[in-house]
Amino acid sequence: MITGILNLLINTPAISNLIGSRCYVNKAPQKAALPYVVLTQLNSEEFLSLDATTSTLRSIVIDVDCKGRTFPETESLANAVKTRLTDYSGAAGSFTVGATIFNSESHDYEPATDGSDNGVFAITLDYDIIFNP
């Protein structure tokens, strides 16, 4: 499922114009050019039907980490991702998304390891995604 979301994001012009294909799962390469997006699945769940059998409906929680050189760059990327994912339903790769629910947003700054002012700005978006495999 997460690769379906990755493909959805990089095939959205408002996002790909900012990051190209720099959208990664779980971690970015050490020397990845900024800005970029990292998708991390936090958990998954199968829903039970009313007769207590497993249905085909699934849910995952993902973090979408938007990272950039400046806060405005990072905020533009996060806004483009929010516009695409919030309340999205439809195809995501071979999966059908029934609902995408925006939960929260948090901001962070990762200082440079060399002591310079060239740290990384980060905005993390948290989503619940309900889908059929």
Q: For residue 91, what is the domain's CATH number?
A: 3.30.2000
> What does the pLDDT look like over 109-133, one tens digit per residue?
999 988 888 999 999 999 999 998 7
> What does the pLDDT look like over 39-66, one tens digit per residue?
999 998 876 666 656 667 889 999 999 9
- Residue 99 CA to residue 85 CA, distance in Å, equals 9
Write down the pLDDT at residue 8: 96
pTM score, two decimals? 0.91
Write down the pLDDT at residue 34: 97
- Structurally, the chain folds into a number of domains equal to 1
Closest CA to 39 of 5, 72, 76: 5
CB atoms within 10 A of CB 132: 11
Write down the pLDDT at residue 55: 65
What is the extent of the structural domain holding 56? 2-132
Write down the pLDDT at residue 115: 84
